[in-house]
Structure 1
Amino acid sequence: MKKITRFFWFCSGAHVDTLKKYPIEHNKYVGIGATIFFTALFAALSGGYAMYFVFSGSAFAVGFAILFGLLWGTAIFNMDRYIVSSINKEGTTNQQIMQASPRILLAIMIGVVISRPLELKIFDKEIRQKLRSSYLKGQNRKIDTLQKTYQQKYAMELTKNADLKKEKDSLEKDINRSRYQLNQEVFGDKTNQTSGITGYGTYAKQKEGVLIEKQNRLKTVTDDMGKMDQYLAGRKQFEGLNDLRLFTPKQLDSLTAIAGFADRNWALGQLSYNENGTRDLDTYLAISFIGYLFILFECLPVFVKLMSPKGPYDTALAKTAEANTYFAEKDKDRDIAVTDNTYDHGLDTDISRRKRIITAQSDYDFERHSYE
């Protein structure tokens, strides 16, 4: 437990030797350090998960994810540790809030960054379904766009082909009717279209000539239609229409499995909306609360430090910092004095002056030792 305690003290950014002297402050800084540590742990998991999707499909995806997760977690750990340890409890409440406000904004940004990949994992099933629907609609729109472009580009040929088809249908009906009338004429059936004379006479020959003429025209129209259909089929192949098909369920599963971070992030944002464009309040609140939870978790060490009253550790730390500043200035003055007294156009050989310098140095060391 002592090792764990010291580890969390280190995570909190506290000065361990000073903190040891004040047991009443131990638990507070264990809590702050644990919060910073677990925030960094979540950041490592989040960063690793995001990097795994970036390199998804690569043989080194897991290795890159672990490496980036460790680097990202370490960076967030150091940043949080600095943010908490740099808050000065000596000022007033307003001064502390002003001092911490940039750090809180930074903590909010970090919370947003580390929460997003974890949200992607939490809503993975819903994201996959949204991506399947999106890919299917996108393929439909692509097919419709190509089809419209094809129809506009070859409007003249398509119109001609449609006219030939109409003519062919009309000719086939006329030929059937003419063949029926020819049979009536040959067998002597009296109608308003036949003479009623049995046998292959003049009227029968006329009707047969009309029938043959229509059959020849039908053959010409059919040949023209065949050529036009062949031409349009080649144009469809050239324009890529024949290669486009709606995705099968298996293809949709494959596409969603290799979807990148940007597509999944878009799908997560779309989960908050219904098909008609209205906001789905339940899903929106669920996604938002998860994000707010991580933002609060990231800001928690700063809030704990701000809300905690000024303790003996803070006072001792302030005095230590003040003493270090004082002695640093005194060290600077002493070094200048020694330099001025020791070197004066070369090496000073005056023994009495050296003794005064040694005596001053001893007095200074004694004063510092007594203060500490």
Structure 2
Amino acid sequence: MSREFYQSPRSTWLMRLFWKAAGADRYILERTTYGDQVKYLCLGGIIIATGMMAGLAGGYAFYTIFEPRGNAINSFKTAGDIAGTYDAIDIPTMIKAVIFGFIWGLIIFNIDRFIISSTGKGDGTEDITKKEFMGALPRLLMGAIIALTISKPLEIRMFKTEIDIKLHEKQIEQQQAYKAKTDSVFNSELASKDKEIEKIENDIADKKNRHKILEQNYIEEARLITVGPRALAVKAQMESVAAEIKELENNPDFLRVKKEKEAIEKKREDALSQSEKYASGLDGLLERIKISHEISGTVISLFITLLFMAIELTPIFFKLMLIKSPYDYMEENIKELIKAENGIETQYNYYQDKEGRERDKIVQHQVIRLLKEKISLLEAQSQLSDEALHHWKEKKKQDIRKNPELYVNEQQQQNGHEKG
């Protein structure tokens, strides 16, 4: 706006965007001072930045929660490469995380915009009184909660390398503990089956040794003389032992126990093969936050949280500390003009409530005018109805004086219809 003593700077589309984010009135800002324009430009910038950080934090948290589970350190570079690790990105989860982050960022942006635009300007001085602070306390609590939701995902992203290494160690420990527990569960069953198998195998081994000795005796007997009765007797014993060995090896109980042992061993191998999968399940958002606190310590973690709280809560405190400027007076003036145009009168400090606090009285003149008109119309209609009833009554009286029998007959007929 051009004046003889001052010319308001022209606004750019970026300034108007930031003004809208801060809930400021573009019409007023384009007619006020440059200081007011910059003030709401910075305020809107903080709100937009908070929404963007919330979107990044929400998207990263979503990806961390729903990404395919695996080792915390997926793959290492070779010794000749630069030391470090790299992760394979799951594209479907990444797309979902981007969509969720965008929606989450918009939600936080709108909440912040509502908090800032609904926060008053205090008493127009730099001091924050107890009354002002208590009035802003719900908004401060909401801002603190939003700051926490933003800071934690970004915190685990800041310490991702250290968290991955520590988490990988925990996954290995978890895997070893699972394997030990699996072995302890299956070892007792396998030991029972081994005892049964060992007993039969010992019998088989004894008979095989007996068969070997008989075989040697037969060879010696057959070498010394021709195959005679003694050699044939040894051969018969040999064949009997061989039959016993075959019978033991084909014993149904022996074969059943061996199959049961094989089934138990297969279950054990399947359970052990799942150990890496179960250990990978340790890679969750909560576990990463816990490790982040272990690595960074209380002081650094608290400092990061307070940093985001400062970013989130600064606009609220600044609005309470702002000294009234031309924008504020012009905004109040426009509000009063709109109220006056619509017949709304505010009588300030008109009465005191039960707690002794002064309250304003709001007088809705248009409502009062319409109410009075409606009351007058209803009163006039009531008076006209009374007048009409009065004249109708007089006319009826005249008709009865002229012909009373007709009136009586009409009443009798009417009573007869009602009884029928």
Q: Are 1:2 and 2:11 counterparts? A: yes
Equivalent residues in 2 for 1:74-93 (5 A)?
74-91=106-123, 93=129
1:228, distance to aligned residue in structure 2 (A): 3.4
Equivalence for 2:291: 271
| CA 1:113–1:90: 2 relative to 1, 3 Å | closer
1:128, distance to aligned residue in structure 2 (A): 3.9
Equivalence for 2:149: 113
Amino acid at match of 2:15: T
* TM-score, normalization by structure 1: 0.63
Separation of aligned partners in 1, 2:255 and 2:92:
55
Q: Is the 8 A contact 1:108 1:299 kept in 2?
A: yes
1:287, distance to aligned residue in structure 2 (A): 4.6
Q: Deviations over 1:141-176 (max 9, x none)?
A: 444333333344566434434555677789999999
Q: Are 1:69 and 2:116 counterparts? A: no
* TM-score, normalization by structure 2: 0.57
Equivalence for 2:133: 97
Structure 1: runs of 5 or more not aligned: 187-207, 273-278, 349-372
Separation of aligned partners in 1, 2:326 and 2:194:
88
Separation of aligned partners in 1, 2:335 and 2:160:
53
CA RMSD in angstroms comes to 5.0
1:99, distance to aligned residue in structure 2 (A): 1.6
Equivalence for 1:204: none
Q: 1 or 2, which has the higher strand percentage?
A: 2
Equivalence for 2:257: 228
Amino acid at match of 1:102: P
Separation of aligned partners in 2, 1:281 and 1:51:
22
Aligned residues between the structures: 321
Q: Is the 8 A contact 1:84 1:302 kept in 2?
A: yes
> Secondary structure at 2:364's aligned position in 1?
helix
Q: Deviations over 1:68-90 (max 9, x none)?
A: 33322222112112212222233
Equivalence for 1:43: 54
Equivalent residues in 2 for 1:96-245 (5 A)?
96-153=132-189, 156-162=192-198, 228-237=257-266, 240-245=267-272
Q: Is the 8 A contact 1:175 1:214 kept in 2?
A: yes
Q: Is the 8 A contact 2:156 2:289 kept in 1?
A: no
Q: Are 1:334 and 2:366 counterparts? A: yes
Q: Is the 8 A contact 1:8 1:34 kept in 2?
A: yes
| CA 1:236–1:94: 2 relative to 1, 3 Å | same
Q: Deviations over 1:289-310 (max 9, x none)?
A: 433332332222223333x342
Q: Is the 8 A contact 1:146 1:241 kept in 2?
A: yes
1:270, distance to aligned residue in structure 2 (A): 4.0
1:297 pairs, out of 294, 311, 322, with 311
1:104, distance to aligned residue in structure 2 (A): 1.4
Amino acid at match of 1:268: R
1:101, distance to aligned residue in structure 2 (A): 1.6
Q: Is the 8 A contact 1:8 1:33 kept in 2?
A: yes
Amino acid at match of 1:82: F
Amino acid at match of 2:116: V
Amino acid at match of 1:310: I
1:50, distance to aligned residue in structure 2 (A): 3.4
Separation of aligned partners in 2, 1:44 and 1:27:
26
Amino acid at match of 2:269: N
* Percent pairwise identity: 22
Separation of aligned partners in 2, 1:59 and 1:102:
40
| CA 1:49–1:269: 2 relative to 1, 3 Å | closer
Amino acid at match of 1:291: T
Separation of aligned partners in 2, 1:169 and 1:270:
59
Q: Is the 8 A contact 1:47 1:68 kept in 2?
A: yes
1:98, distance to aligned residue in structure 2 (A): 1.0
| CA 1:234–1:5: 2 relative to 1, 3 Å | closer
| CA 1:111–1:247: 2 relative to 1, 3 Å | same
> Secondary structure at 1:99's aligned position in 2?
helix
1:269, distance to aligned residue in structure 2 (A): 2.9
Separation of aligned partners in 1, 2:40 and 2:198:
84
Amino acid at match of 2:149: V
> Secondary structure at 2:377's aligned position in 1?
coil
| CA 1:213–1:63: 2 relative to 1, 3 Å | closer
Q: Is the 8 A contact 1:131 1:264 kept in 2?
A: no
Separation of aligned partners in 2, 1:104 and 1:226:
75
Structure 2: runs of 5 or more not aligned: 1-9, 69-89, 222-234, 347-362, 381-420
Equivalence for 1:34: 45
| CA 1:233–1:67: 2 relative to 1, 3 Å | closer
Q: Which entry has the higher C-alpha Rg, 1 or 2?
A: 2
Separation of aligned partners in 2, 1:342 and 1:209:
131
